[in-house]
């Protein structure tokens, strides 16, 4: 079971980098603005807007040397998007990584509060499955808040494997969702609270060692052409679109049985200004699934930076500095 936990936790770390890219920071202007070829300035005000979403995945904590207050500014849609990504990442087992979809179409998955996940289009030949993965009012409950998350939309995918006695051995998985998937947040009674449309293109997951364990020489790789998150307009705020482009990640099993992840991407605020994000120190878990090292650096204009540093230990958490100054106002690190 520790191996399953390790796989899931590393998947969650990868999702953290991707989630912060699309949810961090503000920026004026609506979602239709063309990306400007201008780097954004990273400061305390912009960073704190993304903390609530990130803390849903990797809790941000304060080190004893933190000296400035950083109140969390919550955004329901981005926080729930990250929560759902974490739930998905933690559900992934080594078996799911190894085996591709087969000639037997998977049964529908029913939501805990209604709806379903289904495959309206499904074909398989010689280890290759071409399918549509659809959310039909699929509803799940956040047990921490009792809020409902309802998903609608579809993802087109091609799952490529080599036929074997136990099923197709996956070599790569391609997917796109240009029309996107809408995530609606509701209260416990079903009253809508917020919504966000997530769309993406050119997702490619390449297995480093099909049927085996990824190595430093042959790591598992993930690339993503573009990811968009478009928020719902309200009476107070217009709809805004946040983007990430050029996402790339590599992960492998270390010689000691742990795992290591490196990732990078470019994120855009809603006004088109961009910032770059990369693992300045690879994220590492030991053989028991315990985080031992890792740092993610966000770089903006004029050398401005925010650095999230993983705190080694059994509790998954990270400290944050903005332009070299520790950020306070978060719960104390355990």
pLDDT tens, 242-288?
Answer: 888 998 989 999 999 999 999 898 988 888 889 899 999 999 999 98
Three-state SS for 161?
Answer: strand
Q: Is residue 174 part of a domain?
A: yes
- Please calculate the CA angle 196-202-203 and round it to the nearest 5 degrees: 75
Question: What are the strands, taking DSSP E only, across 62-207?
Answer: 109-110, 116-125, 128-141, 148-162, 169-186, 192-206
Q: Is residue 332 part of a domain?
A: no
Quick one: what percent of the chain has pLDDT higher than 90? 43
| Any domain includes 331 | no
The pLDDT of residue 194: 87
State residue 88's pLDDT score: 55
3-state secondary structure at position 76: helix
- Report if residue 220 sits inside a domain: yes
The pLDDT tens digits for 14-46 are: 444 444 444 444 554 444 444 457 998 998 887
Q: Which domain holds residue 213?
A: 2-326
Instruction: Report if residue 333 sits inside a domain.
Output: no
Domain count, the chain: 1
Residue 228 domain-assigned? yes
Q: What is the pLDDT of residues 49-82, one digit of tens each?
A: 767 666 666 778 886 554 333 333 445 555 666 5
Q: What's the rounded mean pLDDT across residues 207-221?
A: 94
Structure tokens belonging to residue 63: 């080190």
pLDDT at 272: 85
Q: In this predicted structure, which of 55-59, 131-135, 234-238 has the lowest mean pLDDT?
A: 55-59
Residue 31 pLDDT: 43
Instruction: Report the pLDDT averaged over residues 71-97.
Output: 55
């Amino acid at each position: 079971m520790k191996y399953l936990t390790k796989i899931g936790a590393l998947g969650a770390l990868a999702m953290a980098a991707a989630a912060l890219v699309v949810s961090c920071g503000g920026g004026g202007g609506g979602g239709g603005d063309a990306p400007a070829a201008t780097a954004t300035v990273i400061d305390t005000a912009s960073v704190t807007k993304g903390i609530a979403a990130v803390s849903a995945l990797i809790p941000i904590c304060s080190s004893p040397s933190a000296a400035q207050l950083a109140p969390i500014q919550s955004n329901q849609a981005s926080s729930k998007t990250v929560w759902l990504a974490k739930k998905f990442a933690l559900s992934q087992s080594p078996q799911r990584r190894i085996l591709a979809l087969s000639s037997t179409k998977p049964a529908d998955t029913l939501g805990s509060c209604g709806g379903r996940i289904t495959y309206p289009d499904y074909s398989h030949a010689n280890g290759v499955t071409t399918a549509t993965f659809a959310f039909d009012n699929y509803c799940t409950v956040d047990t921490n808040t009792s809020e409902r998350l309802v998903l609608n939309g579809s993802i087109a995918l091609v799952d490529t494997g080599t036929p074997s006695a136990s099923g197709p051995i996956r070599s790569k998985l391609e997917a796109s969702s240009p029309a996107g998937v809408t995530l609606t947040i509701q209260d416990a009674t079903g009253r809508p609270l917020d919504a966000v449309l997530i769309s993406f293109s050119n997702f490619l997951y390449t297995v480093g060692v099909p049927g085996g364990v990824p190595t430093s020489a042959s790591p598992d790789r993930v690339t993503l052409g573009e990811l968009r998150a478009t928020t719902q307009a309200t009476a107070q705020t217009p709809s805004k679109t946040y983007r990430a482009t050029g996402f790339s990640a590599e992960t492998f099993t270390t010689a000691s049985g742990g795992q290591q992840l490196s990732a990078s991407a470019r994120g855009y605020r809603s006004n088109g200004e961009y910032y770059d994000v990369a693992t300045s120190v690879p994220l590492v878990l030991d053989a028991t699934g315990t985080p031992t090292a890792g740092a993610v650096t966000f770089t903006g204009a004029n050398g401005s930076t925010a650095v999230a540093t993983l705190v080694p230990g059994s509790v998954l958490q990270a400290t944050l500095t903005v332009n070299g100054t520790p950020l306070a106002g978060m719960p104390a690190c355990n």
